[in-house]
Amino acid sequence: MDTPELVALRDALLPLAHAAGDAILAVYATDFAVHGKADASPVTAADERAEAVILAGLARLTPDIPVVAEEAVAAGRIPQVGRRFWLVDPLDGTREFISRNGEFTVNIALIEDGRPALGVVFAPALNRLFAGAAGAGAFVEERGARRAIACRKVPATGLTVVASRSHGDAAALEAFLAGRRVASQANAGSSLKLCLVACGEADVYPRLGRTMEWDIAAGDAVLRAAGGRVCTLDDTPLGYGKPDFANPHFAAWGDAAPA
């Protein structure tokens, strides 16, 4: 798609992300139950209801584009994908949802030719929405206002590192950071980590554990639109549409040329 088409589609996704967020918050306000999936990861009614909202919306918007969605895949519904498809994680950060810390997100991304062309990340409990499209930059909406966001150059004082709140590997992170100047380190949940790099609140997010494509595609799209990059540990750009949709270890950088 060219940039005007992507922008139009981005704008159509915003109310859809908010609707999915409303479905999540309706469950969040209750004494919800938690179930285990086949891989032992947790799932709630919020995941399922938000995914149903998103799938119905995407079917109306782009009926010819297949959708790979986390809960559908867990149930064995995996479509054939070509050069263009959607990746959906209706509730990234289910552990954050369960612990009620607000750091969970709705994630919708469009993949074109193995790259994230468009992404929307919405944190409903924080009322913070990030969006980005190739060729059109990235923005955040919060407190009723929209502002453009962009990655920053690493300050002379060193890197601000953001790491996973619920899936950390301290030894692997220490090895990754060895020899780099680090100013500070913080933890955050869900795809918010990618968005913190995109808006210049952090410089790098190393993920040294298992993730799936739908976990990060929307945040990756926002980050790339903001001038950043996501690459494997050998500095190869991360691609999408892998046979099992599983990611290798990676690092999300705000600086286009990390040392």
pLDDT of residue 30 exceeding 90, the answer is: no
Q: For 108-160, give the secondary structure using H, E and C.
A: EEEEECCEEEEEEEEECCCCEEEEEECCCEEEEEECCEEEEECCCCCCCCCEE
pLDDT of residue 236 exceeding 90, the answer is: yes
pLDDT of residue 257 exceeding 70, the answer is: no
CA distance 8 to 5: 5
Give the pLDDT mean for 216-236: 96
Give the pLDDT mean for 137-161: 95
Give the pLDDT mean for 228-232: 96
Per-residue confidence (pLDDT) for residue 54, from 0 to 100: 98
179-222 tens-digit pLDDT: 999 999 988 888 999 999 999 999 999 999 889 999 999 999 99
pTM of the model: 0.93
DSSP 42-101: EE-HHHHHHHHHHHHHHHHH-TTS-EEEHHHHHTT------SEEEEEEEEE-HHHHHHT-
pLDDT of residue 18 exceeding 60, the answer is: yes
Nearest one of 80, 92, 86 to 50, comparing CA atoms: 92
Amino acid at 77: R
61-87 tens-digit pLDDT: 999 999 999 999 989 999 999 999 999
pLDDT of residue 167 exceeding 70, the answer is: no
Give the pLDDT mean for 114-120: 98
Lowest mean pLDDT among 58-67, 93-102, 135-144: 93-102
Per-residue confidence (pLDDT) for residue 219, from 0 to 100: 98
Report which secondary-structure segment, H or E, holds 207. Answer: strand 204-207
pLDDT of residue 16 exceeding 90, the answer is: yes
CA distance 72 to 51: 8
CA distance 238 to 230: 6
pLDDT band at 20 (very low <50, low <70, confident <90, very high): very high
CA distance 107 to 87: 8
Give the pLDDT mean for 110-126: 97
Per-residue confidence (pLDDT) for residue 237, from 0 to 100: 93
Per-residue confidence (pLDDT) for residue 165, from 0 to 100: 64
